[in-house]
Amino acid sequence: MNDKLQVGKKFKCGSSCTISPKNDIIIGSNFFMGNNCHLASDLIIGNNVLVGPYVGFVGGDHKIDEINLPISQSGRGEFRTTNIEDNVWIGYGSIVMHGVHIKSGSVIAAGSVVTKDVEENSIVGGNPAKFLRFRKQ
């Protein structure tokens, strides 16, 4: 259980999702998360956000540059907050790395690995995720 978790009205979560007990997570209203998602970074999520199944929010994991130490003993990196603004759709199987800022109205294509900020009303996809186009009005 995560005592740091805050959710708004109409929070819906599919089955078999995991939410890290060590992270600060704030989720707005009208949030939907599909099955088997993994929330393991500090998160601020706005309103009207859709998250497909098998999406992971991760980062701040083990340090890897101490060559004389086993990675499992190298310590943890810095946790940076991930910010997902309002009206965002994150597609099936995507991975969102910590510290990323996904701006309002954006769409993350299925299977993407988001390592950089995403501009407002844009569609990104791939590994690493790259800008594909802006949404049409």
Annotated active-site positions, please? Answer: 62
CB 81 within 8 A of CB 120: no
CB 90 within 8 A of CB 50: yes
Q: Which residues of 47-70 are buried (b: 16+ CB within 10 A; e: fewer)?
A: bbbbbbbbbbbebbeeeeeeeeee
**Beta bridge pairs of residue 133:** 123
Residue 72 DSSP SS3? helix
On the CB side of 5, CA atoms within 13 Å amount to 13
